[in-house]
Structure 1
Amino acid sequence: MLLSPRAERNWESLCSVLEDVLEHQSHRELFALELGSGTGQHVIRFAQKMPFVTWQPSDIKEESLESIKAYVAATKVKTVLQPVQLDASQPWEQWPGVSPGSCDAIVAINLLQYSAFKTAQGVFLGAAQILKQNGLLITYGVYAINGTITPSCNEDLDAELRKMNPEWGLPDIDVLRQLAYANGMCLERMIEMEDYYKCLIFRKL
């Protein structure tokens, strides 16, 4: 069972955002896909707080999948499915556990900065297909805005990520907005979070 101190710190604020954007649909059963679930700490907390949502966790790494399984077993949450191995840069037809128009929400926490641009492209292409009409894609992370990264701590993070992998780095909100538009979605809200992080709420039109 993996432990992320950052996930322990930020799950409550993320949960508040999710509750805010999904609460008006709490009268019905929702289905959500989490891309890049990592340790599994987030999805377990979300399930405990929002019992009206069934969660499909996913990750590309085997160790993360094992950790998610361990959290599901330890907490005995009923609304988290067994995790699936999913590479968001691959065509959506290859994504297990989902089908066209099956998702009310897709959540991606700290995924886009730790992956190549083709992953961001894959996320939006996939979201366009597997989200229901008016479904939401919710991304969380640190971003560039119109090609500018501020403050200096975010510049340092971007440099650190690019040192780890030249294809990684802070995605630009304007580029993501264009990706969304090209896939029949719009950036509906940008929510300021702690430590210069942001939640972007995209809606399928």
Structure 2
Amino acid sequence: MLVSPMAERNKDTILEVLADYVDETSSAFGLELGSGTGQHVVHFAHALPSVTWQPSEINPTSQQSICAYIRATKVTNVREPLAIDVSQPWNQWGGLTQGCCDFIVIINMLHMTDRGMEGMFKGIGQLLKPGGICLAYGPFAVNGIILPECNVHLDEMLQVRNPEWGLRDVEELRQLANTNALRLERMLEMPEYTKCLIFRRKQFSEC
């Protein structure tokens, strides 16, 4: 079981936001893209038992960690992880079908996605049910400005590792969302200079 200190610190604050959108009286299906160690998905599953969670991770070591967390926590509403490559077309994302998701969660992933950002948002738009929610958490730029200085350094370090990485601008993501029948509904300030972006899949009448 891999342990991310950052995931331990932020899992409760992300859960607080996510829980606002979960109706505990009815069952739902949630997909996490890039589940990492698995700490988030089992934490969400324990707190939100009405949601069946589908973790995903392209890294085999992380897949093993997710499975270990599922076994250790004995959660029954988390499926085995799928090996999803978001740079591939959405219809190759582990057999997931159009409109199958009530929720899609992306945590600290967008700033380390070097290809397929447009394809990822297309997939999100296809997989979410009308009215469904995509929660994206992490550090972001706003109108081309990155604050504070620690996030500037993070952006620089990421681009040294990979020129295609770096903090995404909220406006860039808003435009990608609009192209794929999603609208940015809320932007919440979170601890450690991060944000939660809430995208909602438009109803068919809005498309």
Give TM class, smaller chain: over 0.9
Distance 2:161 2:90 in 1: 27
For residue 188 of structure 1, what is the amino acid of its counterpart?
A: E
Instruction: Report the equivalent of 2:169.
Output: 172
Distance 1:98 1:81 in 2: 13
Match of 1:35 among 33, 36, 51: 33
Question: In the TM superposition, what are the counterparts of 1:104-119 in structure 2 within 5 Å?
Answer: 104-116=102-114, 118-119=115-116
Distance 1:70 1:195 in 2: 28
Question: In the TM superposition, what are the counterparts of 1:118-197 in structure 2 within 5 Å?
Answer: 118-197=115-194
SS state at 1:149 partner: coil
SS state at 2:155 partner: helix
Contact 1:44 1:77 in 2 (8 A): yes
Contact 1:84 1:97 in 2 (8 A): no
TM-score, normalised relative to structure 2: 0.95
Distance 1:167 1:59 in 2: 20
Distance 2:149 2:42 in 1: 33
For residue 75 of structure 1, what is the amino acid of its counterpart?
A: T
CA displacement at 1:91 relative to structure 2: 0.5
Could you give the per-residue CA deviations for residues 166-199 of structure 1, whole angstroms, max 9, x where no partner exists?
A: 1110001000000000111100000110011000
* Runs of 5+ consecutive residues of structure 1 not aligned to the other structure: none
1:10 aligns with 2:10: yes
1:19 aligns with 2:19: yes
Distance 2:73 2:148 in 1: 38
Match of 1:90 among 88, 91, 105: 88
SS state at 1:195 partner: coil
Distance 1:9 1:150 in 2: 20
CA displacement at 1:136 relative to structure 2: 0.7
User: Structure 1 or 2: larger helix share?
Assistant: 1
CA displacement at 1:97 relative to structure 2: 4.6
Deviates more, 1:145-154 or 1:32-41: 145-154
After superposing on structure 2, the runs of 4+ consecutive aligned residues of structure 1 that deviate more than 4 Å are none
How many residues are paired up? 202
Distance 1:125 1:166 in 2: 23
Could you give the per-residue CA deviations for residues 124-157 of structure 1, whole angstroms, max 9, x where no partner exists?
A: 1001111101011110000011111111111000
Contact 1:114 1:169 in 2 (8 A): yes
TM-score, normalised relative to structure 1: 0.96
Distance 1:124 1:30 in 2: 21
Distance 1:202 1:18 in 2: 12
Could you give the per-residue CA deviations for residues 7-59 of structure 1, whole angstroms, max 9, x where no partner exists?
A: 0111000110110122xx22110000000000000000000000010000001
SS state at 1:132 partner: strand
